[in-house]
Amino acid sequence: MSRAVIDRTWNTFEIILFEASVLYNTWNYRNERASVDPSLIIEFDPDEIKKLSSGRFHWITATGTIKSGDWDLNSEIFIEGHNRWISFRRHYYNGRPWSQTTFYNNNVEKINSNETAKFETVEALNRKCSEIDNIFKQIEEEGYKRQIELIEDGETGYIGDGGLGFGLNTHKNILRHEISVDIARNGEPLLNEGRHRITIVKLIGLSTVPVRVVTRHSEWQSLRNRICQEIAHRDNTDRNEMERIVGGIIDEYNYDVVLGIEHPDIQALLEHKLCD
């Protein structure tokens, strides 16, 4: 079986899983005042995405969910300073070959042991490193492109990178492979999926990056619902007055909101009319 057929088969499976999950979760949270629209793309400053999510929410099946608990308080792994960050920086800015990085050697060690490994062979790891090099070069030279832009430009097709399936492709399911975050109770974006790309974007120093939301903390969603309750009937209200009202709601919230009223997930409520 050719690599192209394998790619399309894998991507078709992902698309079906994503579409089914979105349908189920959208229905499950249909009564939320503030929409959990899984197709919403918001822009974050990469510097605001500092830690990995410890929620263990699947980047496909948990899309559009709301979860309570302390999962957002246990995120202690910082992206900058992680082995991946250090290895990428040494490879791209100090000229160190992949084979001399911790990222590479840790994966080789897993391949050669009985430990579950992301890559089945060293050859597969080498292919991945080449793909990462191509992604770095593309972002550095052309800026960050969304998944649909990559497909339109013919720059995608690897297994698991958001490529096309067999006749089931839409703009909504193509975005499944955008960088994804979970949002904590205080609005902090915690990285769910896209570790290689967020590391690259941070190293290059881009000012914004598009992300999609997988899971929101229930308390954060309650804040969004409260905002929608206040603004849903104010269609003719001046934008400055609207922001004053929302700012007051944020000030009364139990937690200091990261980015305040400028938080992308709050701005989306004002700009995209996501209040039911």
| In-domain check, residue 20 | yes
| In-domain check, residue 238 | yes
- What integer is the mean pLDDT of 67-77? 93
pTM above 0.95, yes or no: no
| In-domain check, residue 276 | no
| In-domain check, residue 191 | yes
pLDDT at 159: 44
| Closest by CA position to 87, among listed 201, 200, 192, 208 | 200
| In-domain check, residue 243 | yes
Task: Count structural domains, the chain.
Answer: 1
Distance of alpha carbon 133 from alpha carbon 220, whole angstroms: 37
Over residues 214-236, the pLDDT tens digits come to 999 999 999 999 999 988 877 77
Over residues 33-57, the pLDDT tens digits come to 999 999 899 999 999 999 999 999 9
261: containing domain: 3-271
Beta bridge partners of residue 193, listed in sequence order: 180
Contact at 8 Å (CB) between 228 and 206? no
Distance of alpha carbon 182 from alpha carbon 188, whole angstroms: 8
**What percent of the chain stands above pLDDT 70?**
91
Task: Write the burial class of residue 1 (CB in 10 Å: 0-12 exposed, 13-18 middle, 19+ buried).
Answer: exposed
**By three-state DSSP, how is residue 9 classified?**
helix
192 φ, ψ (degrees, to nearest 5): -95, -50
Is it the case that residue 115 has pLDDT exceeding 90? Answer: no
**What percent of the chain stands above pLDDT 90?**
69
Is it the case that residue 68 has pLDDT exceeding 60? Answer: yes
| In-domain check, residue 208 | yes
Of 21-35, 66-80, 166-180, 197-211, minimum mean pLDDT range? 166-180
Is it the case that residue 1 has pLDDT exceeding 70? Answer: no
Is it the case that residue 242 has pLDDT exceeding 50? Answer: yes
| In-domain check, residue 128 | yes
